[in-house]
Amino acid sequence: MSTGIEISLGEVAAALALVAVAVVVSLYVRADLERDIGIAVVRSFIQLTAIGYVIQLIFDEDSLLLVFALIAVMVAFSTYTARSRAAKVPGATLPLALGLALAAVATLGLVVALGIFEPEARFLVPVGGMVVGNAMTASAVALNRLGDEFEDGRGRIEAALALGANAREAALPAVRRSLRSGTITLVDSTKTTGLIFFPGTMVGMLLAGADPIDAVRLQLILLYVLLGSVAISALVSTSLAYRGFFTSEHQLRE
């Protein structure tokens, strides 16, 4: 599976030509995007280069402890990022952190236990990064929706409480809709994969000269792992986060 492919900084710089096109388009239609495009280019260069060196270091050391440390840092950053999308959810930090951590541990544990990947840094780091990244998006979208549900649907939730529903029963329809909105993007893109778009791992492997069937199989494994991790993180974070809206006496907080 491993194939050598060498990229020079010059080639990376040449790819900026298309960014220039984007900037020209933005200026032409006055979309006011050029500043954001500039920031995106600079940040992606710095962040990816830095993580490239970190990954290089971890691969060289090949220490599982370092792998765990890196994934823990990813979970922490993802929690922090998702937290801002879930601003309307009281006490969202812990549900997010638990959801993301559980998604990472469960999916990486499973792929290692099933023998799909060796417990080595060169497999666990990239898979962990993908899992945490996708889980973060799903949890952030789900909790963002949960915040809206409790803001807009307060009357319906309290009407259920007034009927004698406990907090969980009153929140269930909102939790269900939030969970769905967190996971539906990945579910939909998984449905259309190969028809409408080629996923990143497959593209990377094909570019690196891998056998297409190998590329497809690895991509399938990753898609399934991602589906699982996204479901776990969105489920855990919404199932815990709704409690923040209620008191212990099944009352909605003001």
Partner 1 sequence: MLFELNDVCLARDEHQVLDHLSARVPEGATAIVGPSGSGKSSLLRLLNRLADPDSGEIRYRGRPIAERDVLELRREVMLVPQLPALIEGTVGDNLDFAARLACRETIDAGAALRSAGLDTVFAERDAARLSVGEQQRVMLARALAVEPSVLLLDEPTSALDGEATATVEEALVGLRRRSDLSLVIVTHDQGQAERLADQQIRIERSVQGLAT
Candidates 12-20, 66-74, 99-107, 158-166: pick the segment binding partner 1 (CB under 8 A).
Answer: 158-166
Q: Which residue's entry shows tokens 């492997």? A: 205
83, 217, 243, 250: residue in contact with partner 1 (rule CB under 8 A):
250
Pick 156 or 191: Cβ nearer partner 1: 156
Q: Is 32 in the site for partner 1 (CB under 8 A)?
A: no
Residue 17 and residue 19: Cα distance in Å, rounded? 5
Q: Considering beta carbons, is residue 36 or 152 the nearer one to partner 1?
A: 152
Considering only residues 167 through 226, tell me which ones interact with partner 1, judged by CB under 8 A.
169, 173
- Alpha-carbon gap, residue 81 to 234, rounded angstroms: 15
**Which of 30, 253 has the CB closer to partner 1?**
253
Find the binder of partner 1 among 155, 192, 195, 213 (CB under 8 A): 155
CA dist., res. 104 & res. 48, Å (int): 21
Identify the three-state secondary structure at position 44. Answer: helix
151 is an interface residue for partner 1 by CB under 8 A: no
Name the H helices within 114-211.
121-152, 154-162, 167-192, 200-207
Determine the Cα–Cα distance for residues 33 and 22; give it in Å rounded to an integer.
9
Q: Which residues bind partner 1 (CB under 8 A)?
A: 155-156, 158-166, 169, 173, 249-252, 254
